Structure 1
Amino acid sequence: MKRSFFTGLICSLIVFCVSAQERSVPTYLDDSKPLEQRVEDALSRMTLEEKVAMVHAQSKFSSAGCSRLGIPEIWMSDGPNGIRPELMWDSFKAVGWTNDSCTAFPALTCLAATFDPQLAMEYGIAIGAEARYRKKDILLGPGVNIYRTPLNGRNFEYMGEDPYLASQMVVPYIQGVQQNGVAACLKHFALNNQERWRHNINVEVSDRALYEIYLPAFKAGVQEGDVWAVMGAYNLFRGQHCCHHDLLLNQILRNEWGFEGVVVSDWGGVYDTDESARNGLDIEMGTWSDGLSYGRAFAYDDYFLARPFLKKIESGELPLQLLDDKVRRVLRLVFRTNMDRNRPWGSFATEAHADISRRIAEQGIVLLKNETPLFPVPVGKYNRILVVGENATKSLTVGGGSSELKVKKEVSPLEGLIDKYGEETIYYTSGYTSEPQKYNADSLMQEALNLAKSADVVIYIGGLNKNPFQDSEAHDRKAFDLPYGQNDLIESLLGVNKNTGVVIISGNGIAMPWIDQVPAIIQSWYLGSQAGNALANVISGEVNPSGKLPFSIPKKLNDNGANSFGPSVYPGDSINVYYKEDILVGYRWFDTKKIEPQFPFGFGLSYTTFNYGKLITENKEYSKSDVIRLSCSISNNGQNDGAETLQIYSSQQHPSLPRPLKELKAFQKVFLKVGETKTVSFSIPVEDLAFFDDEKHEWVVEPDRFTLSVATSSADIRSSVRIKVIE
């Protein structure tokens, strides 16, 4: 009897297993099938309600999946320089976990200052691994909005003033992130160049400036980086909100560039159901129910792409095809991320990530001035080093808006210097305060001056911070000068101790009224977890500074293009802002208008010296389909190993439309030992010499003579060649 029972059971199991094998796995679950087949199969199985649920938020940082079909929800995290702490379901308040302390990587201004695409790749891989470990499917970054004015509070999140530099740095960052099965989300598309009135300011700009200055980094991220997500901007452009903008999202992003990924709204950036349905938005985030930044809690079903969208489809006011296209793009992202069973597991707050963060910080620090020379300050040279400045101890990974982080370990500049030189050598006083209601500013200054008199050297560490109206989301700076009385403090310190070096920590340029008095200046950035160690390594000379400015620093604010015309050009009248400087942004403005900046784009000194050879070209005539081959030798003829970034600029002799005096077309960072010489080669497609003809709506390379120059900054040409472009 027992034998018969077990025999029957075994037979039943065999039949069941055979039947299970014969049953086909649904196409959408079979990752051996082509992506588009999986998308169409999943779409065909979903109800109307399930589809609508996937195109709007279900919590502050997630959108719904389809649990009936086993399709996961999508989870997002702010970036772009670290993974934000876990937040409440319906609040921006932190949950309070003890296992979500991340690595803070340097802000993207610092990454751009490295001029090193390989470091951008390492950055992307590392931050993508941290996002993956935290089970995030979209990293809300990187940002590539162009540095138009030094007053923009969010410049520190972006990659500088030059579209070519930003394009070259953003592509490897995106590729690195997405190697982890995490979507990068390129933001903020487009023209989000100020924080003041950001929800309602309407940008008016020419097609030439749009295509030549403000779009190239986005285009590179889409076409070369194959980014999986793009975030719309808060502002309006030509009267329409950018999160549901027909020209930007439908015509340019999708039709011209072929973008197949997901468009995510910025939080609270959606204002209309019909426009968001028709004009390219795929996932609506953070709107509440009134299209503003504050509203009724748990209002997700009342979003413009939620119940109102569903009703319009059911009534026939909007076609089902619009919804299906959005869901297709969402499914495409899902299959690339959280339904990719082969994606890595990720890693979080590791020593390896701290090391990458430190190396990026070291390579991005810029030496602006160094008379005597004051820097480096070798260990053991001085008995008494005085460090002055609140930024030497202030945490700079908190504040600033959505980029605020909770870090596993943040090494402050003071900690890094003490570790490098020893407690018996380093003395500290704040000298100034960003909280005058708590401390007496006069007393702080007087204490600093008293200590400075007896110091062998003073290292001043100040600048901006992440407080409102400094480097901060939702606020622009109110002035170009340093805040908190720092200019007076620096000049007073120089009055009692000429051996004073200034370190500016910021994501923006600042006024420097004391520049002729101070012997040495370092431009530091928000350097992340390893800020103190990176800065100490550069100050001590253990690391030779090699960063280059990713933006120009004007001598005075109205020397800058956007600030030279009056309030209609920046910040606008709260309704409209007119980009009258047009294509002349940054060094293009300074060059063409013959205005000398305080420090030019691409500028950065070293502890060693480099000798440039002559720029050489293979040919003197090129057709429009050719690639220009250039080479230049460079030698380290100084006393320290170091790196230099060779920059290639082009200028056209007789353009039919106005063009800048010169434009960056290539760069390469080269590491050289003392006495070493290398030959550096460049390849520039002739088509890269084009300008955008707004009447023809196309890029044009005219038959003409062009000058190509190798330079150490936009203001320091070392050698040039002339070529001719022929029909």
Structure 2
Amino acid sequence: MKYKQLIAKMTLEEKASLMSGKDFWQTQDIERLGINSMFLADGPHGIRRQAVAADKLGLNAGIPATCFPTAATVANSWNAELGEKVGEYLGEEAIAQKVNVLLGPGVNMKRNPLCGRNFEYFSEDPYLAGKMAAGYIRGIQSHGISACVKHFAANNQEQRRMSIDVVVDERTLREMYLTAFEIAVKEGKTKAIMSSYNRLNGVYTNESLHLMQDILRGEWGYQGTVITDWGGSNDRVAGLLAGNELEMPTTAGETDNDIIQAVKDGRIKEEVLDECVDRLLELIFTTEEAYRKPLVEFNVERHHRVSQKVAEESIVLLKNEDNILPLKFGKKVAVIGEFAKNARYQGAGSSIVNPTILDHTMDCFEESGIVNIGYEPGFERYGKKSRKKIAKACELAEKADVILLYLGLDEATEADGLDRKSMRIPDNQIDLLHALHQVNQNIVTILSCGSAVEMPWVDKVKGLLHGYLGGQAGARAILRVLSGDVNPSGKLAETYPLTYEDTPSFPNFPGNEVSVEYRESIFIGYRYYDTANVHVRFPFGYGLSYTTFAYSGLQVNKTGVTFTLTNSGAVAGMEVAQMYVGCNSDNIFRPKKELKGFDKIFINAGESKTVTIPFDEKTFRYFNVKTNQWEIEEAEYTIMIGSSSTDIRLTDTIFVEGTGAPLPYDKNELPSYYSGKITNVSVGEFESLLGRKVPVSTWDRKRPLGYNDTIEQCQYAKGVFGRLMFHAVVFAHWFLRKTGKRNTANLIMMSVYYLPFRGMARMTGGLINMPMVDGILQMVNGHFFKGLRHFLKERHAMRLGRRKKSAN
């Protein structure tokens, strides 16, 4: 241990106190030993240090900071160096705001397009997500502070996220849901990891010895700190035994007492607690080093321009019929769509950044050179239909050469804590599109949303530009692409299916009442579509340019591939060359192809460059559930180089020697997985894959409600009080939505409806403790007056205890 002598000076109570927050955003300090508090802040795409005191939950306005494009946007750049640049600027702003730990990036897989937090995650592919995350981490930590990769692991939905049990086979867990974290740890060298809320195969992630000890600390050699998601601690002692050092936010000493008692009665050896304290001290002291030098204010304008450059490289051109883009000089455009005036530039929930500057589309036309003849909103932002708005938009459209139509999803639709209801753009926006098409077919649509949407209307537009959520400078970046000042180079980091029903997880999302079954196994995203030959709207890795690229001269050897890339068009541009690998053996089920490398290259018109993409330890590996380790199957592999997962330009094969591991599966027991057609996997076949019985996925309505049940389950409560609570929350949500207060309605669903009863103690900063929760549960379970007396008694005892402590 590095800080053995310092720890020896601590009392047991002091050690335990360090394991929980001081308030909502700071760690505990020990003044007499020179141990200071750390400050933690949300920051996947901008610093969110709220302006109010740190003892308030993080739902208040933040101190102004640069709002960079979200992770889902930057992933479309396929440029890990650009991710590192974003991280550097985030780190610089964190220093300016005295933040020790930046809570990001998020690397969870986009298992399903409806996950409400997809805008915060990079990709459906773990290799791409891991490489982008490692870049962010290196950039953030170059300033001496810490990144905090989240949410570890398999947190792929928002609904019931604090109680849902993810049922997934070991191979899928390793290959799909842990690989990005592995890259973040080994290549990014993150100093902190945030555990997720959910259960994983029956155990809360921060209590999972398999996840936290066997894999994270054992196999990956992680020496850093594990921090709970806010309110994500279930059994504090079990979490500590798993190596989860820091619980956030504060519980006002309640869980400190749990740790102290566990040490005294022998459930935790004090040496285990000392090791946890040692790792936390390392994070505190190393991040403090960043503040030894004088603080320097960051250059607001410079950071804004960097945000613009990042957005420019992340914009994806999806359609360009008749070369309608870039806009020809002198063309008169009509700007239509509410998102043109009030840009949708970031997600909602805990990641909301208060931008230092905010570019507006309507203010940027003059410098773009685009001739704008007028603006009409055309639709109500939150879905209300208006014939009058459509009529006025059509009247303007008739006068224009080209329509710039800004469509997208509103802030209340993509939010932390809630999943989307559908993949559709709101009907009132599509009604507008159809009406405009009747009067002017030269439509260029600009999309603003953080995740995949259905596009049955795409034949009605000639140009389609997807800006995703481009941050505070995204509006200007889009105009620079439309005008041709910037040649688009973004490629989709996720597949766009024709319909939601085509997605592989459609039958099993968001799961049943208690659990969600990952029956699709490793076949998520393009791994499924390409293997099962399912037609999609836009494939993974797809994106157009204003120039063209030719691939030639592929050479494959044991260390990697080289080939020639030529800009065969008339303008300079950047191309993302992608390397996919497919195994030609059918002994083990696999996707048809998997991304194993990529490179982004700038090439002038007419120029050629030699591109080298190396193989690494992940290129040919698979996880063998019999040997319980990574293996290589001896076989011939096809190496595919392309411009997207379906646009393969060059292929060759290579024979690879294997590790001689036994075959992990009986092919006859897993017919769906060997065919890749996994949308109707039976319970029996899924159990063969899991190697165990599938747990019951419905609530036991006969048993009393407990700590890990939610307000949602109060609809089955034995007591009238519990059922009244449920109906009151449902009514409040309905009423707030009806009156237009959608963000507040979302907050109720996130922080009340899906909150486990234990969350009342874990998320209130000590206002409620677990004995008081016992009283609430008694009231809910049909013993109202007994429970009320218990609640009041425990509240009085808690207040009395705190007064005595203060007096001492």
TM range (shorter): 0.7 to 0.9
Q: Kindly indicate whether residue 252 of structure 2 is the aligned counterpart of residue 300 of structure 1.
A: yes
Shift of 1:435: 3.8
CA distance in 1, matches of 2:67, 2:618: 39
1:16 matched to which residue of 2? none
Q: Kindly indicate whether residue 299 of structure 2 is the aligned counterpart of residue 353 of structure 1.
A: no
- Equivalenced residues, count: 657
Aligned residues with identical type, % of pairs: 35
1:254 matched to which residue of 2? 217
1:62 matched to which residue of 2? 26
2:348 matched to which residue of 1? 400
Shift of 1:244: 2.4
CA contact (8 A) 1:151 1:480 kept: yes
CA, structure 1 residues 236+65, in 2 after alignment: closer, same or farther (shift >3 Å)?
same
Q: Secondary structure at the match of 1:177?
A: helix
1:201 matched to which residue of 2? 164
Q: Secondary structure at the match of 1:591?
A: helix
CA distance in 2, matches of 1:336, 1:556: 49
Q: Secondary structure at the match of 2:543?
A: coil
Amino acid corresponding to residue 678 of structure 1 in structure 2: K
Q: Structure 1, unaligned stretches of length 5 or more?
A: 1-35, 289-298, 620-626
Q: Deviations over 1:481-506 (max 9, x none)?
A: 10252222212212211011111111
Q: Kindly indicate whether residue 399 of structure 2 is the aligned counterpart of residue 454 of structure 1.
A: yes
2:489 matched to which residue of 1? 546
CA distance in 2, matches of 1:370, 1:601: 18
Q: Secondary structure at the match of 2:155?
A: coil
CA, structure 1 residues 393+322, in 2 after alignment: closer, same or farther (shift >3 Å)?
farther
1:381 matched to which residue of 2? 330
CA contact (8 A) 1:103 1:348 kept: no
Amino acid corresponding to residue 47 of structure 1 in structure 2: T
Q: Kindly indicate whether residue 273 of structure 2 is the aligned counterpart of residue 332 of structure 1.
A: no
CA distance in 2, matches of 1:66, 1:248: 31
Deviates more, 1:583-592 or 1:634-643: 634-643
Q: Deviations over 1:46-86 (max 9, x none)?
A: 22222112110111111112211222101000010000142
CA distance in 2, matches of 1:96, 1:203: 34
Q: Secondary structure at the match of 1:59?
A: coil
Q: Secondary structure at the match of 1:485?
A: helix
CA, structure 1 residues 649+698, in 2 after alignment: closer, same or farther (shift >3 Å)?
same
CA distance in 1, matches of 2:195, 2:296: 28
Q: Kindly indicate whether residue 457 of structure 2 is the aligned counterpart of residue 514 of structure 1.
A: yes
CA distance in 2, matches of 1:416, 1:256: 52
Q: Secondary structure at the match of 1:404?
A: coil
Q: Deviations over 1:185-218 (max 9, x none)?
A: 0000000101111111110011111111111110
Amino acid corresponding to residue 399 of structure 2 in structure 1: S
Shift of 1:268: 1.1
Amino acid corresponding to residue 666 of structure 1 in structure 2: G
- Structure with the larger helix share: 2
CA, structure 1 residues 418+248, in 2 after alignment: closer, same or farther (shift >3 Å)?
farther
CA contact (8 A) 1:692 1:699 kept: yes
CA contact (8 A) 1:181 1:343 kept: no
Q: Kindly indicate whether residue 12 of structure 2 is the aligned counterpart of residue 53 of structure 1.
A: no
CA distance in 2, matches of 1:551, 1:607: 22
CA, structure 1 residues 209+192, in 2 after alignment: closer, same or farther (shift >3 Å)?
same
CA contact (8 A) 1:371 1:519 kept: yes
1:369 matched to which residue of 2? 319
CA distance in 1, matches of 2:492, 2:61: 38
CA contact (8 A) 2:622 2:632 kept: yes
CA distance in 2, matches of 1:104, 1:346: 19
CA contact (8 A) 1:368 1:523 kept: yes
1:32 matched to which residue of 2? none
CA contact (8 A) 2:117 2:414 kept: yes
1:717 matched to which residue of 2? 648
CA contact (8 A) 2:22 2:29 kept: no
Q: Secondary structure at the match of 2:35?
A: coil
Shift of 1:366: 0.4
CA contact (8 A) 2:69 2:345 kept: no
Amino acid corresponding to residue 475 of structure 1 in structure 2: L
Shift of 1:320: 1.4
Shift of 1:721: 0.8
CA contact (8 A) 1:130 1:346 kept: no
Alignment of 1:431-446 (within 5 A): 431-435=378-382, 441-446=386-391
Scaled by the length of structure 2, what TM-score is found? Answer: 0.79
Amino acid corresponding to residue 442 of structure 1 in structure 2: R
1:19 matched to which residue of 2? none
Out of 613, 628, 632, the position equivalent to 1:701 is 632
1:147 matched to which residue of 2? 110
Q: Kindly indicate whether residue 549 of structure 2 is the aligned counterpart of residue 610 of structure 1.
A: yes
CA distance in 2, matches of 1:79, 1:484: 33
Q: Deviations over 1:26-45 (max 9, x none)?
A: xxxxxxxxxx54x2222122
CA, structure 1 residues 519+75, in 2 after alignment: closer, same or farther (shift >3 Å)?
same
Q: Secondary structure at the match of 1:615?
A: strand
Q: Kindly indicate whether residue 98 of structure 2 is the aligned counterpart of residue 135 of structure 1.
A: yes
Q: Kindly indicate whether residue 237 of structure 2 is the aligned counterpart of residue 274 of structure 1.
A: yes
2:758 matched to which residue of 1? none
Shift of 1:635: 1.1
Amino acid corresponding to residue 715 of structure 1 in structure 2: T
Deviates more, 1:697-706 or 1:677-686: 677-686
Q: Secondary structure at the match of 1:358?
A: helix
Amino acid corresponding to residue 656 of structure 2 in structure 1: V
Amino acid corresponding to residue 663 of structure 1 in structure 2: E
CA contact (8 A) 1:463 1:506 kept: yes
Shift of 1:466: 2.1
CA contact (8 A) 1:651 1:662 kept: yes
CA, structure 1 residues 723+542, in 2 after alignment: closer, same or farther (shift >3 Å)?
same
Q: Kindly indicate whether residue 382 of structure 2 is the aligned counterpart of residue 427 of structure 1.
A: no
CA distance in 2, matches of 1:71, 1:268: 24
CA contact (8 A) 2:347 2:450 kept: no
Shift of 1:520: 1.1
Shift of 1:434: 2.6
Q: Kindly indicate whether residue 184 of structure 2 is the aligned counterpart of residue 241 of structure 1.
A: no
CA contact (8 A) 1:81 1:107 kept: yes
Amino acid corresponding to residue 578 of structure 1 in structure 2: E
2:178 matched to which residue of 1? 215
CA contact (8 A) 1:415 1:532 kept: no
Amino acid corresponding to residue 259 of structure 2 in structure 1: F
CA contact (8 A) 1:587 1:601 kept: yes
CA, structure 1 residues 426+415, in 2 after alignment: closer, same or farther (shift >3 Å)?
farther
Q: Deviations over 1:88-129 (max 9, x none)?
A: 3322367778xx211011100111110111101111111011
Q: Secondary structure at the match of 1:613?
A: strand
CA, structure 1 residues 687+511, in 2 after alignment: closer, same or farther (shift >3 Å)?
closer
CA contact (8 A) 1:612 1:634 kept: yes
CA contact (8 A) 2:95 2:291 kept: no
Shift of 1:334: 1.3
Out of 305, 321, 326, the position equivalent to 2:271 is 321
1:624 matched to which residue of 2? none
CA distance in 2, matches of 1:127, 1:192: 24
Q: Deviations over 1:152-202 (max 9, x none)?
A: 110110111111111111112101100111100000000010111111111
Q: Secondary structure at the match of 1:598?
A: strand
CA contact (8 A) 1:180 1:346 kept: no
CA distance in 2, matches of 1:557, 1:485: 20
CA, structure 1 residues 666+58, in 2 after alignment: closer, same or farther (shift >3 Å)?
same
Out of 26, 40, 45, the position equivalent to 1:81 is 45
Q: Secondary structure at the match of 2:602?
A: strand
Q: Structure 2, unaligned stretches of length 5 or more?
A: 659-808
